[in-house]
Amino acid sequence: MKTLFTCFFILVALTLSAQTVFYVDDEVVHVGNGGVVYIEGDYQSANTGIADNYGAIHVQNDWINNSTNTGFTGTSDGDVYLFGTSDQNINGNETHFHDLILSGQSTKNMNVDARVLDTLDLVNAELQTNQYNMYVENPAPTAVLWNTGYVNSNTLGGYFVRAMNTTSPYLFPVGDITLSNIYRGVQVTPTTTDTAAYGVRLRAIDASNDFGTTFNGASGPFDVTIKNSVLSDINTDFYHNIARFTGSQPADVNIHYFSGDGDYFSVAQWQESTSQWEPSSDFVSTNTVGPASFGSPDVQARAVGHNDFIEDPFALVGVDLLIPGFISPNNDNSNDFFEIQNIELFPGNKIQIFNRYGNVVFETTDYNNTSNYWDGSASTASMVLGDKTEKLPSGVYFYILELPDDLPAQQGYVVLERD
């Protein structure tokens, strides 16, 4: 192998036509600390060609690694700038960049997997992974930078993957130019310092029309009309794939979105075992302003300690609370108590039930249908009831059900009928 050239502490500006290829074939390009190579064309390596880069390589057109290696010597710690203002491609074999800066405001298309060992700066560009994966191997939460840039993956199977080993939040600036405000970013916060890697994908499409295979092997499309009956409308404007590539510990997951996207209470998760969308009960939507770097979204769906990444399609969903208007507690296994279907999806709820005089006759927090429910008995002493264990008489009662996280309260009437 011979040395193509060595650049130390000088600026090498190659004033070449747009069709020029900077070709490294069985050669070593040495770029010393402070050195700069400026290519107004393609960078292409072949055979054993390799870059020994401690400075900066600026490429206006495509990056093509056709060599038998990952593009750089193992000690290279220099920068690569993709500065073109027209679409650029990362082609050939997998390249391991040390620092990758997408300085040109254009789309950078990945046609092969790629890795960034230290820092990825999206600047103002769109990184389109297609069906490939961009891995950021530096586990520092600050290893990914951007101004208005974002990552998009238009083909199922492509992910933006980040290594993790802290309990700090890791941000995934995924977005799509077709969405208002572009970003629908995801934040993953590990619950331990164990080494892990998570991959995130956003697709601005109805999941019913997305074909391909996920990281975990689920085959799209994921028809939003095939769902558990407790689920209401599933968002058809976009959905996410959130996969745990390595590791086994749970993580807090925040999906950030905007109130203009619709009224969604929770998140549904596709389950290959049932071949339908199922409620992911640990996600709750709240009116919480997200990171400014995501465009300050005003709603988030948050799950604390989420540990179900067996399947990775996730979509915003409405959940129907089915509140009965009638109970008859006579132990015939029909309407024996005030069964509020799907209430378990709203932990932290509070309910009060009033009699016709306005007295609270029953109240509780974390109402559920198994151990903490109203069966027509009083739970509080009142002016009408001297004994709080007394069964309430037949009549019309009024309820107020407060939901967590600023969700609108539900209220109405229920008829209690005794034999």
How far apart, in whole angstroms, are the C-alpha atoms of residue 9 and residue 30? 12
Biggest distance spanned by C-alpha atoms of the chain: 98
On the question of pLDDT at 2 being above 70, the answer is: no
Q: How confident is the model at residue 11 (pLDDT cuts 50, 70, 90)?
A: very low
Encoded tokens for 11: 């600026």
Give the tens place of pLDDT for each residue, 28-73: 999 999 999 999 999 999 999 999 999 999 999 999 999 999 999 9
Closest CA to 269 of 225, 313, 206, 319: 313
Q: Is residue 134 part of a domain?
A: no
Residue with tokens 């040395």: 3
Q: What is the CATH number of the domain that holds 307?
A: 2.60.220
Encoded tokens for 2: 């011979």
Chain-centroid distance, C-alpha 234: 16
How many domains would you assign to the chain? 3
Residues 58, 203 within the same domain: no
Q: Residue 372's domain spans which residues?
A: 321-419
Q: Is residue 11 part of a domain?
A: yes
| HSE, side-chain direction, 13 A CA sphere, residue 339 | 10
Give the tens place of pLDDT for each residue, 258-293: 999 998 888 999 999 999 999 887 888 888 999 999
How far apart, in whole angstroms, are the C-alpha atoms of residue 32 and residue 34? 6
Whole-number pLDDT of residue 408: 78
On the question of pLDDT at 16 being above 90, the answer is: no
Run of H or E residues at 75: none
103 in Cβ contact with 82 (< 8 Å) = yes
Residues 221, 240 within the same domain: yes
Residues 314, 179 within the same domain: yes
Q: Is residue 219 part of a domain?
A: yes
On the question of pLDDT at 370 being above 50, the answer is: yes
- Predicted structure pTM score: 0.83
Whole-number pLDDT of residue 1: 55
Q: Is residue 287 part of a domain?
A: yes
Residues 290, 327 within the same domain: no
How far apart, in whole angstroms, are the C-alpha atoms of residue 246 and residue 313? 17
Q: Is residue 144 part of a domain?
A: no
Q: Is residue 138 part of a domain?
A: no
Residues 315, 325 within the same domain: no
Closest CA to 62 of 36, 95, 31, 32: 95
Please give the span between the terminal C-alpha atoms of the chain, in angstroms, as a whole number: 96
Q: How confident is the model at residue 19 (pLDDT cuts 50, 70, 90)?
A: low
Closest CA to 215 of 240, 241, 190: 241
Show which of 319, 342, 368 is a domain's final residue.
319
Whole-number pLDDT of residue 54: 97
